[in-house]
Structure 1
Amino acid sequence: MEKDQYIVGIDFGTLSVRSSVIRVRDGFERGTAVSEYKHQVMDQNLTASENEPLPPDFALQNPTDYIESLIESVNQAVKDSGVVVKHIIGIGVDFTSPTVLATNSMGVPLCNFPEFKNRPHAYAKLWKHHAADDQAKRLLKEAQDRKEDWLSFYGGGLSAENTVCKIMETYEKDREIYDQATNFVNAVDWIVWQLTDQLIFSSADTGFKKNYQNGKYPSYDYLESVSKGFGNMYKEKMNAPIQAIGTEAGKLSKVMAEKLGLYPEISVAVGLNDGHVTPAAVKAVRPGILSAILGTSGCYFINSEKFKEVPGMLGIVYEGVVENLWCFEAGQTSFGDTFAWFTKNFVPSEYQEEAKKLNLNLHEYLTRKCSTQKIGQHGLIALDWNNGNRSILCDASLSGLLIGHTLTTKPEDIYRALMEACAFGARKIIETMNQYELEINEIVVAGGMLKNKFFMQMLSDITKLPISITKSNAIGALGSAIYGAVAAGCYPNITTASDAMGNKVPNVFKPNEEKAAAYDLLYEQYTALYTLFGEKQPEIMHQLKKIQKNSTLTINNNN
């Protein structure tokens, strides 16, 4: 008879949800399944209703997709595992954040109501929804003028991705949706609410994404001074109890247990952001180890015994990932998304045909072609801001840049320049951390970019750091299961659970000194452009954004 116990780890990503049945004693994956969201990301048209055009920088999702994909993936993962259901004792969950939903008192998203189905602000605002940039800039300026004490926990900046920015956007752009919403809740807490019938806020997500520090949210006076009537937002719209990660949020409800094919009353852990579960999954919760999740975007986490005010951090939260340590988060808003954008829009048909003949996808084909080049041979430098700059500049109105192209520039040249730009952006973040005495001795990488070994070696050469990897194909689900195991009482703390269940292969890629020196020359040019367009003259890119938005508004009005 089987004696092992299992946790279902559930990882909600940007395009799909993965559920895995994970063995508690060693993190072994017995079964897994992925279910893609029906409507994916709505960033051009509101496809969940009348397919009306969306303004620039919108990124919405339909929460109904989350539930449908959750049910499908969990049922299939349990079936795939062959595990006896009674041996599944808990659930751990992570979600993209801050993905923000407006709901009624029962947790029903407002977009589910017929009268609001055509209202964009009634839908889930995905993490990469950047239309709240104006609100972010105003909130930041007022916080700086007032010397708000919480600002130091966010590197002195405030991203348009932040929860309060998105809610204020709703308040100012669609007041009826704001007024009708009983709750504004991040999806990581909303999904736990659906599983347990209890609304609690994750301490980690609340610290990283809701500006909750030193036991309080930003004040009424502060919010009111930015937008009149908005001062009571936290009190009226976001006032659920806050609970620590690694604890039990509640028990699985009978209704959801029946839909998921699990026993009711099993433990459901407090949720975490999708990136925040990775350090535990890759055995990187101790100081000195940088976790890098390189997928559609780039997310970076490092733990430290001491608080340090590091510019451009998205959040600095005590026990944000593990007990007794401060977690520092930084990131790049576009990583894999940049390469997907390029291959979708700028690769000629003959390249596509040749790749098909070689049984390669376009990413593999372009990598093969550019990997034979000498460093700097393409004569290009790019900036990795195709979806704005998350760290260190915290400016969603910045945009991509490519210089040096001529009439002889080929697709593989640009593709390699984009790879280098992403690696240079990572180096910029690491150097800033080092400057403020956050020691980094190793990078552990998870995410889709692991498939590209050429890029991984490039990243090691450019950052001059050894790179460890994970062999798990479901690192988010594994990380969620680790927190679920702690919440279910299987381990005394997160570090112990990480040691037992985590997955890491050390020092797979090591920096090549000769190549690193060659990349240094390109990095100097990258830094010059970074300073020029990000610090000295950002208004150039800002003005282009304004022109674009005004042009779009004119077109919509004419229609």
Structure 2
Amino acid sequence: MSPNVSANNPADVVIGVDFGTLSGRAVVVRVADGAELASAVHDFEHGVVTETLPGSGVALAPDTALQVPADYRAVLRQAVPKALAASGVPAERVIGIGTDFTASTFLPVTADGTPLCELPEFADRPHAYPKLWKHHAAQPEADDVNAVAEERGESWLARYGGRISAEWEFPKALQVLREDPVVYDRAERFIEAADWIVWQLCGSENRNACVAGYKGIHQDGAWPSREYLAALDPRFTDFVTDKLAHPLSRLGERAGGLTRAAAALTGLPEGTAVAVGNVDAHTTAAAARTVEPGQMLAIMGTSTCHVLNAVEFAEVPGMCGAVRDGIVTGAWGYEAGQSGVGDIFGWFADGFAPSEYVSEAAGLGITVHELLSRKVADQPVGAHGLVALDWHNGNRSVLVDHGLSGVVAGMTLATRPEEIYRALIEATAFGTRTILDAFQNSGVPVDGFTVAGGLKRNDLVLRTYADVLNRPLHVADSDQGPALGAAIHAAVAAGSYPDVPTASEAMGSVTRDAVLPDPARAAGYDDLYAIYTDLHDHFGRGGTEALHRLRRIRDENHTR
């Protein structure tokens, strides 16, 4: 097959579908050059389920974050046909479809892929629903996963910076076993939503190497051993062999073709090539042209995921994983991240902006975020006297501890709301700098830093990050980075390009040196970063257990 079939078929298109935290987005992309012809968004009816189960009203425990699979299908039924119609491209010109998902979003299903929550007898059981990435109620299980692995000297632990996150597969499955063994026993398979959606499209189970490596502790061709699982809980001994293990597919491969039912659902031709599933952040690397070693990509939205390819493996404390072929074939793909970024800004703007600020923003025809940014944009570095810790949704990297919580230090009666808002932005930038320092100090070079995701449109955030990191920021051109990345993988799966790097060069795009640091402000942030590091280590590395004690007191007094 020609290495670039798209050159002979300039009208061919692919569709990328990005399943996010609150919505799904479909984009129609021209194979020849990556031009985005149209897109459509479908909001999840149920969003993130955190308080009570839909329908039954069953109350949920603290730190629970679930979703409803019907919302995922609705994206295929609504967004894909709408995007295609808006593009004006006939359905027969679509040669492939690719998907990406937030991860770890993990669900129990029957042998034919039916989510347990869709069985009437399990509709009122929380553990029968998909657990979203931001489900942090499995932290006790994560603590056990790590403690037992350390005691046994499990070699794979070093590939995850020494700690497995509560967001990943094994803690979540272990929580289901401990808290609802009926659901655990009924589940014939546990599967990432990234692979489940491909199952819905192709009609057969398929598992991708990315999610297995980063979220499922699959390293060097093997899962954690039965002996290790038995040490966690004897009932967990056969979890891998019975409910998880499946041959893994490489990224960019063809998982299969659209079934007749999936074709009817999406409005695409039966048999259209379906790419192997992928994680949103990792697929975005292709869209942003950051698949070469040393190019870090930060996908900044509700949270931030940092991905980076390297030639060699090195142990980096507190990363989310290092996986051979995890982003592109032939390289070590690293992942780190922050559990709360845009969510933190939204939490403050939505819940703590004074009513007069809300009225002022409305009068100016701008958002509260924009008003807060305007009020503080020109303030000298450090003039607010604040340093915050960005742990409002726990810490993913480098501490890997979701029992931590946010801190704002330095407030006085003179502190203004916009100053707290700015301190929170700075805190997330300091968190990213901490991650970069961990990579650099471990011998993994970070030669470039590229930003993608919704926050790339926020000028204050980008200027703050450039100054805090004291390095130029490259910015991915596409506003639909994950969906474009999924489409690029679809083009490879359809045979238009020989591999993901080649397709990325043709279809991805980035503006280099889009934001440059200011030397004077960067020097000022060095002083604040030193204070951030002091607080980070005091509250997060054993100087005090105050934040963990507060979390325990809260949970003990929560009405269950």
TM-score tier, shorter chain, comes to over 0.9
1:202 aligned residue: 208
1:42-191 correspondence to structure 2 within 5 Å: 42-46=49-53, 48-191=54-197
Distance in 2 between residues matched to 1:272 and 1:516, nearest whole Å: 36
Report deviation, 1:239.
2.1
SS at match of 2:25: strand
* Aligned counterpart, 1:442: 448
Match of 2:378?
372
Amino acid at match of 2:316: V
* Equivalent pair of 1:35/1:70 in contact (CA under 8 Å): no
Amino acid in the other structure paired with 1:227: D
Instruction: From 22, 45, 51, give the equivalent of 1:38.
Output: 45
Distance in 1 (CA, whole Å) between partners of 2:454 and 2:210 is 25
Identify the residue that residue 528 of structure 2 maps to in structure 1.
Answer: 522
1:193 equivalent to 2:204? Answer no
What is aligned with 1:392? Answer: 398
- After TM superposition, list the pairs within 5 Å mapping 1:502-521 onto structure 2: 502-521=508-527
Q: Is 1:467 aligned to residue 479 of structure 2? A: no
Task: Tell me which residue corresponds to 1:458.
Answer: 464
Q: CA deviation digits over 1:377-430, x for unaligned, max 9?
A: 111110000010000010010110111111121110100000000000000000
The alignment-based identity, stated in percent, is 43
Partner of 1:416: 422
Helix, strand or coil: the match of 1:334? Answer: coil
SS at match of 2:394: coil
Cα separation, 1, equivalents of 2:9 and 2:539: 60
**Alpha-carbon spacing, 1:254–1:8, altered in 2? closer, same or farther (3 Å):** same
Q: How far apart are residue 470 of structure 1 and its match?
A: 2.0
SS of aligned partner of 2:403: coil
Q: Matched residues in 1 for 2:86 and 2:57: separation?
A: 36
Aligned residue identity for 2:186: Q
Cα deviation for residue 324 of structure 1 reads 1.0
TM-score (norm 1): 0.98
**Shift in Å at residue 2 of structure 1?**
8.2
Q: 2:311 aligns with which of 305, 312, 319?
A: 305
- 1:143-194 residue CA offsets vs partner (Å, 9 max, x unmatched): 0111101111111111000101100000000010001111100000000000
CA contact (8 A) 1:103 1:185 kept: yes
Could you tell me which of 4, 9, 12 is aligned with 1:5?
12
Q: Do the aligned partners of 1:441 and 1:465 also contact (CA within 8 Å) in 2?
A: no
CA distance in 2, matches of 1:538, 1:185: 38
Q: Which residue of 2 aligns with 1:29?
A: 36
Q: Does 1:20 align with 2:27?
A: yes
Q: CA deviation at 1:19?
A: 0.4
1:70 CA displacement: 2.1
Contact 1:98 1:126 in 2 (8 A): yes
Q: Deviations over 1:506-557 (max 9, x none)?
A: 10111111100001111111000000001023522111111111111xx33x
Please tell me the residue identity of whatever aligns with 1:194: Q
The separation in 2 between residues aligned to 1:549 and 1:276, in whole angstroms, is 34
Give the 3 Å change call, closer, same or farther, for CA 538–80 of structure 1 in structure 2.
Answer: farther
Instruction: Determine helix, strand or coil for the equivalent of 2:534.
Output: helix
Amino acid corresponding to residue 53 of structure 1 in structure 2: A
Quote the Cα distance in structure 2 between the aligned partners of 1:259 and 1:524: 54
Please state whether the residue corresponding to 1:45 is helix, strand or coil: coil
Task: Please tell me whether the aligned partners of residues 300 and 330 of structure 1 are also in contact (alpha carbons under 8 angstroms).
Answer: yes
Determine which of 510, 533, 541 is the counterpart of 1:535. 541
Shift of 1:3: 4.5
1:224 to 230, 233, 248: 230
How many residue pairs are counted as aligned between the two chains?
Answer: 553
Asked if the contact 1:58/1:131 (under 8 Å) is kept, the reply is: yes
Large movers: runs of 4+ above 3 Å: none
Contact preservation (8 Å) 1:267, 1:487: yes
Gaps of 5+ in 2: 1-7
CA contact (8 A) 1:398 1:538 kept: no
Structure 1 residues 538 and 265 mapped into 2: Cα distance closer, same or farther (>3 Å)? farther
Q: Could you tell me whether the CA contact under 8 Å between 1:251 and 1:267 is conserved in 2? A: yes
Give the TM-score taking structure 2 as reference length: 0.97
Deviation at 1:359, TM superposition (A): 0.7
Residue 276, structure 1, aligned to residue 282, structure 2:
yes
> Which of the numbers 356, 359, 375 marks the counterpart of 2:362?
356
Q: Is the 8 A contact 1:12 1:94 kept in 2?
A: yes
Distance 1:3 1:466, change over 3 A: closer
Query: Which secondary structure state, in structure 2, belongs to the residue aligned with residue 20 of structure 1?
Result: strand
Mapping 1:492-507, distance limit 5 Å? 492-507=498-513
SS for the counterpart of 2:504 is: helix
Instruction: Give the aligned CA root-mean-square deviation in angstroms.
Output: 1.1
What SS class does the counterpart of residue 7 from structure 1 fall into? strand
